[in-house]
Amino acid sequence: MNIRNIAIIAHVDHGKTTLVDKMIHSAKLFRENQQFDDLILDNNELERERGITIVSKNVSIRYKDTKINIIDTPGHADFGGEVERVLKMADGVLLLVDAFEGPMPQTRFVLTKAIQLGLKPVLVINKVDKPNCRPDEVHEAVFDLMFNVGANEEQLDFVTLYGSAKQGWMSYDWKQPTTDITPLLDTILKVIPPPKTEQGSLQMQITSLDYSNFLGRIAIGRVYRGEIAVGMQVALCKADGSVKKMRVKELQTFEGLNRASVEKVQAGDICAVVGLEEFEIGDTIADVEKPEALPRIAIDEPTMSMLFTINNSPFFGRDGKFVTSRHLRDRLLKETEKNLALRVEFTDREDTFIVYGRGILHLSILIETMRREGYELQVGQPRVLFKEIEGQKHEPIETLVVDVPENVAGKVIELATQRKGELMVMEPKGDLQHLEFKIPSRGLIGLRNLVLTATQGEAVMTHRFIGYEPYKGDIPERTSGSLISKDTGPATAYSIDKLQDRGKFFIDPGEEVYGGQIIGEHTRGSDLVVNVQTAKKLTNVRAAGSDENVKIAPKVQFSLEEAMEYIQKDEYVEVTPTAIRMRKIYLDENERKRMEKEFS
């Protein structure tokens, strides 16, 4: 069978999903009169809103009698767990790079994994139609990057294509545009090797899973050796070394955007298996007579943890469907089945769990997904995970890259160094200044907001985990205290107006708040309890000067990630399907004073 298995890797926003769209169109998978949206593969509501790929997807196209299995991978390092497992299905990678930005830190992260697996790269320099692009410099930068991550001679001898995925063309020379993307498809057939298949009994590794209400859990993976057929008895090799016998009920291969049922699948193809029970990602489906397990997928360790607990605020249960600790526990355990980089630890309290992930974005996507499904929960301050190495405390360190206008580069350097960041590289990049820092993961929490404020939103920030290094010392936390509501009830414009000199507010007049809720940021370092429910006393007497118009500054609006980064040790973020609120863990003022020692 003529098959090519190819993974597409790129940094966030370099046009990866748009390129897959064009490949799908060029293979004419749609009827002439069929309506469809852009970003066909980003079908998850959150992916469309944020413009990022979160979950890897499989799709196949047929070109010149060859089936090309395309695997769309996430570009964000927080979803590295997705990338590490799906690259095992591929024989080559399409590395997509922006013609202006060039290779970014997260491109390096995924590329390193691909090079280590020995995959053959094809370089696509995208967006050459943009003004001030620099394709030749970017080509050199990618060559240097490949060399630095340990590519062998065969991998360094890569083919480069230039083009614009948005306009739908690819060419070997960026100054000579073509009319379509067939040069790219021809290159894939010529350069990417067909799957290596060994002789012998069945071996297939499960690299991802799907769920259907009718069929139950479905195992997806690549057949490395032998063949698998419907009705065949197979052995499932588990992580603990045990082997279970099972029967294949149905087989599906990827055809276009859908899956087609088939009777058998040969080595080299990617397929979905129905009928297996109690399997996990990384398990091997093998021959019953002679079961041989493939090496398990190695996933990088989590670097951050957060406390998840049930919602116990006064507004609990108002708009969520799933509010009990049993609901929360079952949902988190279900997530660990397919989200390999996530871990859940039970605590001595029934309603509290510690969840470990790869970063704030990784955890916030989980919380946002749960919220949309109708869950109510509260989360504590994100904490990085320290390690003891040779008796010394070590912490996770990341590379932070900031592209920023030259006149505000100084402010960014100042903010990063306050948080123990070391400036490693500073060079011009077009009309921007390119800065690279080595910074503790702790220092990144809350830094994005400060940098965007200091640069009037013009900074482009990315970061990736590089390893553990000795503890860098204390990092200053938020310097301002919180404004806390004293009572429960709707806030009045009169009260907020009178308290505006005390700080910035996170609520609008008329919004219902409860005692202990954080409703603003104090101008000083201490917390302040305020009464925002007071209404103006009405009298019969009217005087021209005393009824001045109320002018209230607009409230500060927080996204979920910003709220997670903003809270302190003694605060929670309350997340429900319709609201994100911040609150003190102890709502009663007297109890907070008693418990101060616990958080100091």
Residue that wins the pLDDT comparison between 369 and 25: 369
Band (51; pLDDT cuts 50, 70, 90): low
Query: What distance in Å separates the CA atoms of residue 558 and residue 535, rounded to the nearest whole number?
Result: 27
Tell whether 149 and 238 lie within a shared domain: no
User: What's the mean pLDDT in 188-194?
Assistant: 85
Domain membership of residue 450 (yes or no) is yes
Q: Residue 417, annotated ligand binder?
A: no
Domain membership of residue 14 (yes or no) is yes
Q: Residue 15, annotated ligand binder?
A: yes
- Tens digit of pLDDT for each residue in 409-436? 888 899 889 888 898 888 887 778 888 8
Tell whether 121 and 183 lie within a shared domain: yes
Q: Write down the mean pLDDT value for the chain.
A: 82
DSSP 250: E
Sign of CA pseudo-dihedral 101, 102, 106, 110 = positive
| Residue 230: domain span | 203-287
**Final residue in a domain of this structure, among 424, 455, 470:** 470
- Tens digit of pLDDT for each residue in 92-117? 888 888 888 777 766 777 788 788 88
- Which pLDDT does position 572 carry in this prediction? 92
- As beta bridge partners, residue 67 has 3, 62
Query: What distance in Å separates the CA atoms of residue 395 and residue 384, rounded to the nearest whole number?
Result: 8
Domain membership of residue 218 (yes or no) is yes
The three-class DSSP label of residue 124 is strand
**Final residue in a domain of this structure, among 420, 449, 470:** 470
- Which pLDDT does position 106 carry in this prediction? 66
Query: What distance in Å separates the CA atoms of residue 358 and residue 384, rounded to the nearest whole number?
Result: 10
Domain membership of residue 228 (yes or no) is yes
Per-residue burial over 336-355, b = 16 or more CB atoms within 10 Å of its CB, e = otherwise: eebbbbbeeeeeeeebbbbb
Lowest mean pLDDT among 20-29, 149-158, 220-229, 276-285: 20-29
Band (141; pLDDT cuts 50, 70, 90): confident
pLDDT exceeds cutoff 80 at 199: no
Tell whether 37 and 132 lie within a shared domain: yes
Domain membership of residue 321 (yes or no) is no
Sign of CA pseudo-dihedral 221, 223, 224, 225 = positive
CATH of residue 252:
2.40.30.10
Domain membership of residue 484 (yes or no) is no
Tell whether 16 and 163 lie within a shared domain: yes
- Which pLDDT does position 49 carry in this prediction? 55
Tell whether 127 and 43 lie within a shared domain: yes
Band (518; pLDDT cuts 50, 70, 90): very high
Query: What distance in Å separates the CA atoms of residue 427 and residue 436, rounded to the nearest whole number?
Result: 9
Cα 127 from chain centre:
24
- Tens digit of pLDDT for each residue in 248-271? 888 888 877 778 888 888 888 888
CATH of residue 114:
3.40.50.300
Q: Residue 126, annotated ligand binder?
A: yes
User: What's the mean pLDDT in 509-529?
Assistant: 90
Tell whether 118 and 233 lie within a shared domain: no
- Residues of the chain with pLDDT > 70, as a percent, come to 89
Band (57; pLDDT cuts 50, 70, 90): low
Tell whether 125 and 253 lie within a shared domain: no
Q: Residue 14, annotated ligand binder?
A: yes
Query: What distance in Å separates the CA atoms of residue 345 and residue 356, rounded to the nearest whole number?
Result: 8
Domain membership of residue 370 (yes or no) is no
Q: Residue 283, annotated ligand binder?
A: no
Q: Residue 374, annotated ligand binder?
A: no
Tell whether 141 and 228 lie within a shared domain: no
Sign of CA pseudo-dihedral 160, 165, 170, 174 = negative
pLDDT exceeds cutoff 50 at 37: no
Please count the structural domains in the chain. 3
Alpha carbon dihedral 233, 336, 114, 430, in 10-degree steps, equals 150
Tell whether 41 and 132 lie within a shared domain: yes
pLDDT exceeds cutoff 80 at 132: no
- Which pLDDT does position 234 carry in this prediction? 86
- Tens digit of pLDDT for each residue in 292-339? 888 887 666 788 889 999 999 999 888 888 889 899 999 898 888 777
Query: What distance in Å separates the CA atoms of residue 484 and residue 529, rounded to the nearest whole number?
Result: 5
Query: What distance in Å separates the CA atoms of residue 266 and residue 222, rounded to the nearest whole number?
Result: 10
Q: Residue 380, annotated ligand binder?
A: no
Tell whether 32 and 178 lie within a shared domain: yes
**Final residue in a domain of this structure, among 470, 503, 520:** 470
- Which pLDDT does position 124 carry in this prediction? 87
CATH of residue 404:
3.30.70.240
Tell whether 153 and 186 lie within a shared domain: yes
Per-residue burial over 102-126, b = 16 or more CB atoms within 10 Å of its CB, e = otherwise: bbbbbbbbbbbbbbeeebbbbbbbb
Tell whether 218 and 156 lie within a shared domain: no
User: What's the mean pLDDT in 481-509?
Assistant: 90
Contacting residues for 201 by C-beta, under 8 A, at least 6 apart: 225, 226, 286, 287, 289, 290, 292
Cα 36 from chain centre:
26
- Which pLDDT does position 42 carry in this prediction? 44
Query: What distance in Å separates the CA atoms of residue 509 and residue 519, rounded to the nearest whole number?
Result: 11
- Tens digit of pLDDT for each residue in 535-574? 877 777 665 555 566 778 888 888 888 898 888 888 899 9
Is-contact 101 129, C-beta < 8 A?
Answer: no
Domain membership of residue 371 (yes or no) is no
**Does the pTM exceed 0.85?**
no
Please give the structure tokens belonging to residue 338: 């397919």
pLDDT exceeds cutoff 60 at 352: yes
